[in-house]
Structure 1
Amino acid sequence: MFKFLTASFLHVLAICLSLAGSVSHAQPLIIGGYQYPPFMDEKTKDGLYIQLMKSIQAHTKFEFKWVFYPYARLDHLFHQGKVHLEIGSSPAWNINKPTPGLFTDSFYAIEDVTVYASNQYQHIVGKNTKGSQSIGVVRGYQYPIFDQVLAQQAIKKVERSDEDELLQLLINERIHQVFINQQVFEYLRQQNPEYNQLTMGDVVGHYDVAIRVHPDHADLIPILNQAIKQLKVDGTIERLFKRNQQP
């Protein structure tokens, strides 16, 4: 009788511990999104990162809820723990933030470039840059190789909430260049023929991107890593991002 009770008690205890381990993820995990097509589009609630997370959800059984904000606001909410995940981030962008976050394995690589109007372009890549160049960046974005230059005010940084606003400033000759993801620029140029007068210049950053995880949810990382690994092995990630690459 004692052995039976002991075995039953241990069985119940194991079930309770198992349930306790899943309590932290009983509620949807909040993913912070921002206007960043073709990766994330607030208007259509679709994009490459959103499709990626649908595939990850199918592998992990986690429930995800997307919320969209301007990037700087999203980053603040991540610091507060109100946003749990950010998709397509890099450790290099977050080193000096109050809550840098933790990172899964990378799933993709991106390049940031300069974009300019032909009558405004000046080569600016380098730490010895001087002059009155004005560079447009999305508010909250980080460009590590230019931190020193920007800190010395050798370049004037002009911030706006998204890439479209910056490209409009460029069209209207309010700034000299814009720092932008190459695929984002190519996508926006397809949507807006006015941007065909703009040209891509120097590469200002090459990054392996991953899922940024709030430290309160560190236990997600091994599970997310396993899902990313499976999606790489079965070709899902390659097919997803290849569809958006320019010929």
Structure 2
Amino acid sequence: MKQFVFCLFAAISAMLLCMAQPCAADTLRVMLHTGSFPPYFFAEGDSRTGTIKDIFSVLARETGDSIEYVRVPFNRALLKFEAGQIDIEPMTNPAWRRNSKVPGIYSIPYTVSRETVLFNSSSYFPFHGPEDFWGKTVGVVRGYRYPEFDSYFADGRIIDHRLENEGKIIQLLLAGRLDQGLINLDFANYRIKKDKLGSQLKAGGPFSVLDIMIRFHPSKKNVLPRFNKAIEKLLNDGTIKRIYDQYR
């Protein structure tokens, strides 16, 4: 009888604990590419964490899940997601994954992505849209989609110079081997500020502003409600804004 009472007490205690805090025990594999893409993530071994790790640290605290980061090159990471070997793409938009064999399911938005045209300062000109780049060569990242520009690349009106990553675009701009490239504005601003490149590089206004969400593999759809609840809380209390402000 005593053993039964003890077991009943333990079960009730566990139930009350679950009501007080998340009881999820999922271990989620989160996509994190090789290399560095500040302010979102830094190279392996770098003491700086970046916005993705910082945000997922507070999300996991809210949801009760454990996070494992999988570092592989970008295109391989997308294949691993499709194969179910990665559970989460931490920052994306459905417009970028239309061609994926596994579209996935998306959280509510938690920030926005602004894409800009970054120029070698000597080549800068005010632009209003893709038509302003007819006949020009524009640096882009291999494997990325650019919905506003893709049709122009496809028919050759604009020549796309495909490079390994955003860092390579900046490298060629600084060397004068490229006049302009399409690039994430947060990344461009971070590099310009930290590396004191303001006299050499100039960003135009954003040509694309898209909501950023978390993409879950369908096998992990059960975790979506608690992540949405956590995102809403962290947006409302200003936590996510404070994380981004640390890197600006």
Same topology, TM > 0.5:
yes
2:5 alignment counterpart: none
Give the stretch that moved more between structures: 172-181 or 56-65.
172-181
Is structure 2 residue 62 aligned with structure 1 residue 39? no
- CA displacement 1:40-63 (0-9 Å, x = unmatched): 113326101110000011011111
2:231 alignment counterpart: 228
Deviation at 1:166, TM superposition (A): 1.2
1:241 alignment counterpart: 244
Q: What does residue range 128-143 of structure 1 map to in structure 2 within 5 Å?
A: 130-131=134-135, 133-143=136-146
3-state SS, counterpart of residue 58 of structure 1? helix
- Aligned partner of 2:99: which letter? N
Contact persistence 1:33–1:42 (CA under 8 A): no
Q: What does residue range 1-247 of structure 1 map to in structure 2 within 5 Å?
A: 28-34=27-33, 35-43=36-44, 44=46, 46-121=49-124, 123=127, 125-127=129-131, 130-131=134-135, 133-194=136-197, 196-245=199-248
3-state SS, counterpart of residue 73 of structure 1? helix
* Identity, % of aligned positions: 27
- Aligned partner of 1:170: which letter? L
Deviation at 1:112, TM superposition (A): 0.7
Task: Give the CA RMSD over aligned residues.
Answer: 2.4
Aligned residues: 223
Structure 2 gap ranges (5+): 1-7, 16-23
1 CA distance for matches of 2:145 and 2:58? 28
The TM-score, its normalising length taken from structure 2, stands at 0.81
- Aligned partner of 2:50: which letter? G
1 CA distance for matches of 2:159 and 2:223? 40
3-state SS, counterpart of residue 145 of structure 1? coil
Contact persistence 1:102–1:213 (CA under 8 A): yes
- Aligned partner of 1:66: which letter? Y
Contact persistence 1:70–1:162 (CA under 8 A): no
Structure 1 gap ranges (5+): 1-7, 16-24
Give the stretch that moved more between structures: 145-154 or 194-203.
194-203
- Residues 119 and 128 of structure 1, relative CA distance in 2, 3 Å threshold: closer
1 CA distance for matches of 2:132 and 2:124? 17
Give the stretch that moved more between structures: 73-82 or 206-215.
73-82
Give the stretch that moved more between structures: 219-228 or 96-105.
96-105
Contact persistence 1:125–1:202 (CA under 8 A): no
The TM-score, its normalising length taken from structure 1, stands at 0.82
2 CA distance for matches of 1:112 and 1:240? 20
2 CA distance for matches of 1:97 and 1:176? 31
